[in-house]
């Protein structure tokens, strides 16, 4: 009988209840969309910031003396010792590569020659624009990549041979591609690490290691801390410009999302309370009849609580489905990648909308003042 009366109440005031459920569905759609966006935005921002290049660098400490045969002006690191430690700490979501530098000569002009794993260049710096072909083998001794400015200075095109000289040693490579990084790398020549170590006569030595860690600022700091523990003789530092920008942007987006959720909840509560207050006034005669038949005010209020509870749950479920679709569209428009649905959004949205709907019970306090005799006389 209880639920039969509840459904009769729902059918008897479909007009005003439609306004309430529209408010609940609209609020739930926006809230669930924002919640789904908030849960997925860290991954999307991480992927976007990862295209900016390396975010952790391992290098010799500044007070470490440099030997006379050092690459450039830096002290050297043992390649195997550093890379083995990096491989043990990091996982498949971390890209890294060693780097070594010398100032060589090509066509009687000085040029910075960089030795690295050529197959990892594209992963570490995904934004580079390349004219030609990427090099798929890290130990390719025959090919190299040349920066845009260096290619212009040395009059190079793809396919042409480049001869580098360092002290009394020389090395040759074929230009596989000319890249545009928009940074200092445009003035450099990238070749196999083995080829540069042979050219500089420093086998097994590197200048630094660059890492591109997938994750937020906390993940990056954690990886850097673990590497500092296993490599205390070297300096391990996150690139602050990248990690701080990522953390600041993520914090602002989350603050905006939380603020919007709170504001929408308040507006939805006001709309539901206003609708239920008008509904309570319309139902005074029904309440008077129920009280005249011996119904207690707690029992009568229970009918309305069940009614608004059903409205809140139904509005939350419908709105959650719409909101997940909304966040999917927002991900495509903002990040060019859809944000997949997070299933925990559904119970949270339904619970929030049920609580919001329960705020509609507040105007029912006036029902306790209804006098059955007065209502039945039609006054």
- Specify the pLDDT at position 148: 94
Residue whose tokens read 């990056």: 220
Residue 121 to residue 329: CA distance in whole angstroms: 33
Per-residue pLDDT reduced to its tens digit, 162-200: 999 998 899 999 999 999 988 888 999 999 999 999 999
Q: What is the mean pLDDT of residues 223-243?
A: 80
| Banded pLDDT at 291 (limits 50, 70, 90) | low
- Specify the pLDDT at position 192: 93
Q: What is the mean pLDDT of residues 68-83?
A: 62
- Specify the pLDDT at position 71: 43
- Specify the pLDDT at position 272: 80
Question: According to the 3-state scheme, what is the secondary structure of 21-89?
Answer: HHHHHHHHHHHHHHHHHHHHHHHHHHHHHHCCCCCEEEEECCCCCCCCCCCCCCCCEEHHHHHHHHHHH
Q: What is the mean pLDDT of residues 64-90?
A: 64
CA 360 from chain center: how many Å?
37
In this predicted structure, the answer to whether residue 3 has a pLDDT above a threshold of 80 is: no
Residues pairing with 180 in the sheet: 129
In this predicted structure, the answer to whether residue 241 has a pLDDT above a threshold of 60 is: no
**What percentage of the chain exceeds 90 in pLDDT?**
20
Question: At residue 294, what are phi and psi to the nearest 5 degrees?
Answer: 100, 10
The answer to whether the beta carbons of residues 98 and 195 sit under 8 Å apart is: no
Residue 68 to residue 167: CA distance in whole angstroms: 13
- pTM for the predicted model, two decimal places: 0.59
- Specify the pLDDT at position 92: 64
Per-residue pLDDT reduced to its tens digit, 312-351: 888 888 888 888 888 888 777 766 777 788 888 889 888 8
Select the more confidently predicted residue: 275 or 245: 275
Question: At residue 138, what are phi and psi to the nearest 5 degrees?
Answer: -75, -20
Select the more confidently predicted residue: 202 or 249: 202
In this predicted structure, the answer to whether residue 12 has a pLDDT above a threshold of 60 is: no
Select the more confidently predicted residue: 258 or 52: 258
| Banded pLDDT at 53 (limits 50, 70, 90) | low
Q: Is 247 exposed, middle or buried (0-12, 13-18, 19+ CB in 10 A)?
A: middle
Residue 333 to residue 32: CA distance in whole angstroms: 18
| Banded pLDDT at 243 (limits 50, 70, 90) | low
The answer to whether the beta carbons of residues 172 and 97 sit under 8 Å apart is: no
- Specify the pLDDT at position 177: 94
Q: What is the mean pLDDT of residues 214-239?
A: 82
């Amino acid at each position: 009988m209880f639920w039969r009366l509840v459904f009769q109440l729902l059918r008897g005031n479909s007009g005003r209840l439609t306004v309430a459920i529209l408010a609940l569905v609209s609020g739930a759609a926006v809230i669930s969309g924002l919640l789904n966006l908030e849960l997925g935005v860290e991954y999307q921002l991480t992927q976007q910031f990862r295209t900016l290049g390396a975010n952790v660098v391992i290098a010799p400490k500044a007070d470490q003396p440099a030997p006379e045969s050092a690459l450039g002006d830096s002290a050297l690191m043992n390649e195997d010792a550093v890379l083995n430690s990096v491989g043990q700490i990091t996982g498949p979501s971390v890209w890294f590569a060693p780097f070594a530098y010398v100032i060589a000569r090509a066509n009687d002009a000085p040029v910075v020659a960089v030795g690295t794993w050529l197959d990892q260049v594209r992963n570490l710096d995904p934004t580079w624009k390349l004219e030609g072909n990427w090099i798929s083998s890290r130990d390719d001794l025959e090919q190299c990549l040349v920066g845009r400015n260096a290619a212009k200075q040395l009059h190079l095109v793809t396919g042409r041979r480049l001869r580098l000289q360092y002290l009394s040693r020389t090395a040759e490579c074929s230009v596989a591609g000319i890249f545009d990084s928009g940074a200092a790398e445009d003035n450099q020549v990238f070749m196999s690490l083995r080829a540069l170590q042979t050219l500089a006569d420093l086998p097994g030595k590197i200048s630094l290691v660059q890492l591109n860690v997938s994750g937020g600022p906390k993940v990056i700091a954690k990886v850097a801390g673990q590497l500092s523990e296993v490599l205390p003789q070297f300096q391990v530092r996150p690139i602050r410009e990248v990690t701080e920008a990522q953390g600041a942007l993520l914090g602002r987006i989350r603050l905006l999302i939380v603020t919007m959720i709170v504001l929408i909840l308040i507006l939805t509560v006001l709309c539901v309370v206003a609708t239920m207050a008008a509904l309570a006034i319309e139902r005074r005669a029904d309440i008077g009849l129920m009280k005249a038949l011996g119904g207690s005010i707690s029992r009568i209020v229970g009918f309305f609580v069940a009614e608004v509870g059903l409205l809140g749950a139904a509005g939350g479920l419908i709105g959650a489905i719409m909101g997940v679709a909304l966040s999917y569209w927002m991900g495509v428009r903002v990040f060019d990648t859809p944000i997949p649905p997070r299933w925990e959004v559904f119970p949270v949205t339904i619970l929030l909308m049920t609580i919001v709907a329960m705020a509609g019970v507040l105007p029912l306090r006036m029902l306790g003042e209804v006098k059955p005799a007065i209502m039945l006389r039609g006054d």
